[in-house]
Amino acid sequence: MQKVGYAAAVAALGLWGAPALAKDVGGVACTNPPPARCIGEACVTGGALAELGNVTDAKTGRQFWLDYPCDLKPGEKVVFVLNLHGAGSFGNWQRHYFPAADYKEKYRLVVATPTAATATPVRRWDGAADDAHLQNITNWVFDTFGQKNIKSFWLAGHSQGGMTSNRIVCTDFFKDKVDGWLSLSGGRVGQAPFVTQFGPPKADGSPPDPRPRGSLPAQAAPACDFSHIFTVGEYEIESLPETSPLAERFGCTARVRRKDIVDEKAGYVWDYQRAGYKVWGMKARPGVAHEWVFDKCRDGRVVADVVRIDKGHTEGLEPRVTEELVKLMVQAKGGKAQASAD
């Protein structure tokens, strides 16, 4: 598989004279379906999940995945999603857990999915090196696709990747670029309290020991403005708040329950080694999700909650619930990246 570094991409752009686009954007071949894709147990036996990416960050030597519309036109506006995995996981599992790339043509998405540096005791987003890598990826996407073509920019993250998104969204680098945060079981602004026995099962398959209530980190009200979508498995939380600090900030009306999202197909992946404790997650399977949206938010902001019924922390998202999350992201206000390019 072709790998391309930052310098090579910039050199290619120089030949075009502007952030124009060709069949292979930045030298990265585009295919449908997306590359290194697998389903169910084939993800384990086929080894596709072990592949680290089709782009190399030339500044760090670390690879990441890039998915984009194969029919992208020069100067076309796109929604950029930086998709972060949870602790102990890696990029290609995240591409399958939240498969936004399946909708890249329909909704004009550019999705970058990296892998955190290996650390003890588990791989996780932690420290300046990982933050710099995420900034490098963002700069590469902006340069490759044209910053003024980024209609909106979303951080999406599962579990510790969601908490990392929340940690960095208002930092100096990201606050004037990011338009929204999609939390995939990674905490909510206006916390939805986790159950006390949240976490992976013990080695014998039994539930983890209970934690004191309030011991898991809460998500504080942010210092900057962004749209916020929270999705979670029913078994992960004790309750879903009826209010939202961001909905109040943006002058939204009370939340409205939308029609249930019904999926007849399962997601791609699950936690193959630790499935069995329903809070942590079972084998991926079809399902139903409940959706609430805070209406009429100021300036086109989106604030929404989606609860996946009969699901835990690690079942991969089903196709229709994935698409509904993407639709919410695409309809939200964007433009920070474009404005900061001026």
Predicted local confidence at residue 18, as pLDDT? 38
For Cα atoms 267, 265, 303, give the angle at the middle one, nearest 5 degrees.
65
| CA-angle at 65, arms to 62 and 67, nearest 5° | 155
Residue-level pLDDT at 145: 96
Q: Residue 218: its pLDDT value, please? A: 66
Kindly indicate the confidence band of residue 2, based on its pLDDT and cuts at 50, 70 and 90: very low
Residue 234, pLDDT above cutoff 60: yes
Instruction: Tell whether the model's pLDDT for residue 47 goes beyond 90.
Output: no
Which of the pair, 224 or 212, is modelled with greater confidence? 224
Which residues does 7 contact at the CB level (< 8 Å), separation at least 6?
58
Determine the Cα–Cα distance for residues 311 and 222; give it in Å rounded to an integer: 28
126-130, 166-170, 206-210, 271-275: segment of lowest average pLDDT: 126-130
Tell me the per-residue pLDDT of 65-102, one tens digit each, with 9 for 90 and over. Answer: 999 999 999 999 999 999 999 999 999 999 999 999 99
125-169 pLDDT, tens digit per residue, is 988 999 999 999 999 999 999 999 999 999 999 999 999 999 999
The rounded distance, in Å, linking the Cα atoms of 322 and 214 is 30
pLDDT number for residue 24 = 87
Q: What is the pTM of this model?
A: 0.92
